[in-house]
């Protein structure tokens, strides 16, 4: 009887323990929208740019999860991606995205066939080194290092357009800070890459086979705790001889519909794609994060 009484007391103590004492796997402790959205490559950040953020709504006590689906309607092309990301104790992020690029009528003009699709898998990893997006000194941003391994599923066609490789790896270094008193978020990312059209047209080419250093910048203003507007700019290499590649930029609005669901709409301009200029249009993305 004494043993049973002691066991009952122990169970009662566990039931009365506070959430902090229990150290839950899913604590949802991040401020709304401070985890970013899913970028076009699947990593947490903005639409075009990777940020130093770690995916999910969990703090350093939990395991964060996010999933996204994104669609872009350009003048002559269609683009879609979907993927998942895992944040481990707000320190390490692992992500995956599948990208599908629909050439529509352009595919026929290019000899690929009407509606031909380029497909690519992107596997990402990111680690937070120092700092915090929200807390701590305003002079110390959150700084993360990352990599994104991209693998085209259309290797023969990729090489036919002049790409040196059908797979490649980008390396990123990002610094992100939210200045709460001003409701302003600033991000800067350096990317070492030789990807053509984000990797959809392979890696490297006659103009430049090796990786070059590119820049991604983001500026966002929190109108309310659930509504953010901003813009991004991303430089890109121009490696292929058959067509130039322009820098990309966007203007976006992100709305936290609920704590765990974020809807993003943007005007995106990626310039020239496979000799067709003026590729700009609308982006819509839905992210669920826990």
Q: Where do we find the tokens 């826990």?
A: 290
pLDDT of 194 over the 80 cut: yes
For 232-243, write each residue's pLDDT tens digit: 999 999 999 988
**Can you give the CATH number for the domain in which 276 is found?**
2.40.160.40
Instruction: Write the CB contacts of 241 (distance below 8 Å, at least 6 apart in sequence).
Output: 162, 205, 206, 207
141 phi/psi in degrees, rounded to 5: -75, 170
For 87-122, write each residue's pLDDT tens digit: 999 999 999 999 999 999 988 887 888 889 999 999
Confidence of residue 27 (pLDDT cuts 50, 70, 90): low
The answer to whether residue 2 sits within a structural domain is no
Task: Quote the pLDDT of residue 26.
Answer: 55
pLDDT of 256 over the 60 cut: yes
Q: Total domain count for the chain? A: 1
Confidence of residue 29 (pLDDT cuts 50, 70, 90): confident
Average pLDDT score over the chain:
90
The answer to whether residue 12 sits within a structural domain is no
The answer to whether residue 123 sits within a structural domain is yes
For 101, counting Cβ atoms within 10 Å of its Cβ (0-12 exposed, 13-18 middle, 19+ buried), the class is buried
pLDDT of 14 over the 70 cut: no
For 113, 234, 286, the CA distances from 68, given in Å and listed in that order, are: 29, 21, 6
Instruction: Provide the domain limits for residue 258.
Output: 23-289
Q: How confident is the model over 149-156, as a mean pLDDT?
A: 95
The answer to whether residue 11 sits within a structural domain is no
Q: How confident is the model over 6-32, as a mean pLDDT?
A: 49
pLDDT of 22 over the 70 cut: no
The answer to whether residue 14 sits within a structural domain is no
The answer to whether residue 8 sits within a structural domain is no
Give the integer Cα–Cα distance in Å for 267 and 72. Answer: 9
Q: How confident is the model over 49-55, as a mean pLDDT?
A: 97
Task: Quote the pLDDT of residue 243.
Answer: 87
pLDDT of 18 over the 80 cut: no
The answer to whether residue 6 sits within a structural domain is no
- Cα 133 vs. chain centroid, distance in angstroms? 16
Confidence of residue 126 (pLDDT cuts 50, 70, 90): very high
């Amino acid at each position: 009887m004494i043993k049973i009484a002691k066991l009952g007391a122990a169970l009662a103590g566990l039931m009365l323990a506070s959430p902090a004492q229990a150290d839950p796997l899913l604590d949802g402790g991040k401020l709304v929208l401070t985890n970013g959205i899913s970028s076009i490559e699947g990593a947490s950040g903005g639409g075009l740019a990777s940020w130093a953020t770690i995916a999910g709504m969990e703090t350093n006590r939990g395991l964060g999860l996010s999933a996204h689906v994104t669609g872009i309607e350009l003048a002559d092309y269609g683009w879609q991606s979907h993927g998942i990301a895992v944040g481990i104790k707000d320190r390490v992020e692992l992500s995956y995205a599948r990208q599908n690029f629909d050439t529509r009528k352009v595919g026929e003009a290019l000899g690929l066939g009407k509606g031909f699709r380029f497909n690519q898998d992107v596997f990402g990893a990111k680690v937070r080194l120092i700092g915090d997006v929200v807390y701590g000194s305003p002079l110390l941003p959150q700084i993360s290092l990352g990599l994104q391994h991209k693998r085209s599923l259309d290797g023969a066609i990729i090489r036919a357009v002049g790409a040196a490789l059908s797979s490649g790896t980008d390396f990123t270094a990002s610094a992100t800070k939210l200045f709460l008193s001003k409701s302003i978020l600033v991000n800067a990312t350096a990317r070492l890459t030789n990807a053509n059209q984000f990797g959809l047209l392979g890696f490297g080419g006659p103009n430049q086979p090796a990786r070059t250093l590119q820049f991604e910048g983001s500026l966002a203003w929190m109108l309310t705790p659930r509504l953010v507007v901003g813009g991004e700019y991303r430089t890109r290499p121009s490696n292929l001889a058959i067509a130039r590649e322009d820098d990309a930029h966007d203007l976006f609005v992100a709305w936290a519909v609920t704590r765990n669901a974020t809807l993003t709409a943007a005007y995106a301009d990626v310039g020239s794609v496979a000799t067709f200029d003026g590729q700009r249009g609308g982006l819509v993305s839905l992210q669920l994060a826990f």
